[in-house]
Amino acid sequence: MSAMVVVTALCVASLVLVGTGQAFAQDPPRAEVIAKNLAQNVLGEGTVRWVRVSSSGHEIDIAWDAVLYRAAHTSARNREQLRGEAELATGSIMSVMKPAVIRYNILLGKRTIAQGRRTWDGFTITYAKDLGG
């Protein structure tokens, strides 16, 4: 009986070790996936349209669908909302991935309604003309 227990324990241990080895053999997520997930944690699932990360990881370009824009809001209110979502989304990426610059576009349909960049030294945003940009 004890031999059966030892054999069973060895089989279980080998299965655990094989499973662990496979988990470590998988490649880590690509930088684009990480940046997308960080932004979508703030903006919501399915909002990021595209992400490009330079081979050095120092530059990130990202575009997402406007989350807080509302046609019924004033231009001033929409500017405030868009700035907030841009600061939060780029800030979440900046704090984890630590790039030198993030360039972003906020889209409404096919149109860019705001764009800008975030660096360690500052944050800029430019709005579409109909939003006072």
Rounded distance between C-alpha atoms, residue 17 and residue 25, angstroms: 12
The answer to whether residues 127 and 79 touch, using CB atoms and an 8 Å cutoff, is: yes
Q: pTM score, two decimals? A: 0.79
> Using 50, 70 and 90 to split pLDDT, how confident is the model at 133?
confident
Q: Which residues of 96-114 are buried (b: 16+ CB within 10 A; e: fewer)?
A: ebebebbbbbbbbeeebbb
- Alpha-carbon radius of gyration of the chain: 22
Residue found by looking up tokens 């945003």 in the block: 125
For the chain, the structural domain boundaries read 31-131
Fold of the domain spanning 31-131:
GMP Synthetase; Chain A, domain 3 (3.30.300)
Bigger pLDDT: 127 vs 11: 127
Q: For the segment 14-68, what is each residue's pLDDT rounded down to a tens digit? A: 444 444 455 556 788 899 999 999 999 999 999 999 999 999 999 999 999 999 9
